[in-house]
Amino acid sequence: MNLYAATIPQFKRILQNVERWLDKTTAYAESKKFDPNTLLTARLAPDMFPLLRQIQSTCDQCKLTVARLTAKDPPKHPDTEQTIDELRKRLHSVIAYLDTFTPADFDGAAERLITLPFFPEGKAMTGADYLVERQIPNVYFHTSMLYAILRHNGVDVGKADFIGQVTYKDK
Amino acid sequence: MNLYAATIPQFKRILQNVERWLDKTTAYAESKKFDPNTLLTARLAPDMFPLLRQIQSTCDQCKLTVARLTAKDPPKHPDTEQTIDELRKRLHSVIAYLDTFTPADFDGAAERLITLPFFPEGKAMTGADYLVERQIPNVYFHTSMLYAILRHNGVDVGKADFIGQVTYKDK
């Protein structure tokens, strides 16, 4: 499996799923007559990120993973979003960035040694380990926490929304 | 990347991480003088699984993923656990099952067509799509929800506990 197949289509699916959860969030807010942006400060615990930052973090983890695996400079996002509409633009921007990649960009990515400032001194991770052990968990962590915040606050999202549309073949 | 590398070591890491979160849970309960098993009925929303079932589901998703990818019959677990100690045994049992696999068991797994009763009529998924699009999200969904329930109830788990020990190389 080329690391393109393990990242680009699935990260796009995740970001598109998140946008559909936001659709359900605004529909729920409309039905209950509250401003959906009030949910952006909701947290599961006082020392966890609120919804807004969970969405920003999901975007960042997707973006940074593919940038580091392919040794490219990621686009900058200054974390200035304050509304669901602005967060939608952030999601679209990362999806557009993911769309710039081809499988060839990931040639050698599994074996490439990646180093980051917060790794232990003198240590690196292979691209494959970095993806499987650190970044896939990281992406799903933030995605799950933002889903959990919505769910805890009554938004009608379910497991099928979490998984999204999958790829079937004819038998 | 052979699908062994994308599943067995990481699923073991996840199950071992969950056991460490349970260690923190029992330590927290001891410090606050409550029975840690009372948390097993905690939920994030009334129509979500409680902690106990999130742990069982994490075990099941890990077990079923590798069984289906390798076309083997998984061991049965009758969901009779009622305590954290019993859930620890379930985690150990799945880890022992994962330890029975070798990379050769996953030869051809990425291309194998997988069919399940709840798929649309006449449809299948390739092993690679099944893993990336459905099962990795499924495993992290349940793991994240169980983490979120613990975190929401004051257990001192953090992001480093979620990721666990990763594999470093010398630069």
- A113-154 pLDDT, tens digit per residue, is 999 999 999 999 999 999 999 999 999 999 999 999 999 999
pLDDT, averaged across chain A: 97
Chain A positions touching B16 (Cβ under 8 A) are: none
Residue A104, Cβ density class (10 Å: 0-12 exposed, 13-18 middle, ≥19 buried): exposed
How many CB atoms lie under 10 A from the CB of residue A76?
7
pLDDT at A73: 96
Q: Residue range A14-33: average pLDDT?
A: 98
Q: Which of residues 103-132 of B touch A (CB under 8 A)?
A: 110, 113, 115, 119-120, 122-126, 128-129, 132
A49-66: average pLDDT:
98
Write the DSSP symbol of residue A133.
Answer: I
Per-residue pLDDT at B2:
84
Q: Is B152 exposed, middle or buried (0-12, 13-18, 19+ CB in 10 A)?
A: middle
Question: Is residue A36 a contact partner of residue A26, using CB atoms and an 8 Å limit?
Answer: yes
Query: Is A42's Cβ below 8 Å from some Cβ in B?
Result: no
ipTM score of the complex? 0.96
A82 pLDDT higher than 70: yes
* pLDDT score of A1: 67
Question: Which residues in chain B touch residue A138, judged by CB atoms under 8 angstroms apart?
Answer: 163
| Whole-angstrom distance, CA of residue A151 vs CA of residue A61 | 22
**Do B54 and B165 meet the contact criterion of CB atoms below 8 Å apart?**
no
The answer to whether the Cβ–Cβ distance between B134 and A163 falls below 8 Å is yes
pLDDT at B151: 97
Residue A2 has pLDDT above 90, yes or no: no
Q: Is the pLDDT of residue B108 over 90?
A: yes
| The pTM of the whole model exceeds 0.95 | yes
User: Phi, psi (5° rounding) for residue B126?
Assistant: -70, 155
Q: Is B170 on the interface with A (CB under 8 A)?
A: yes
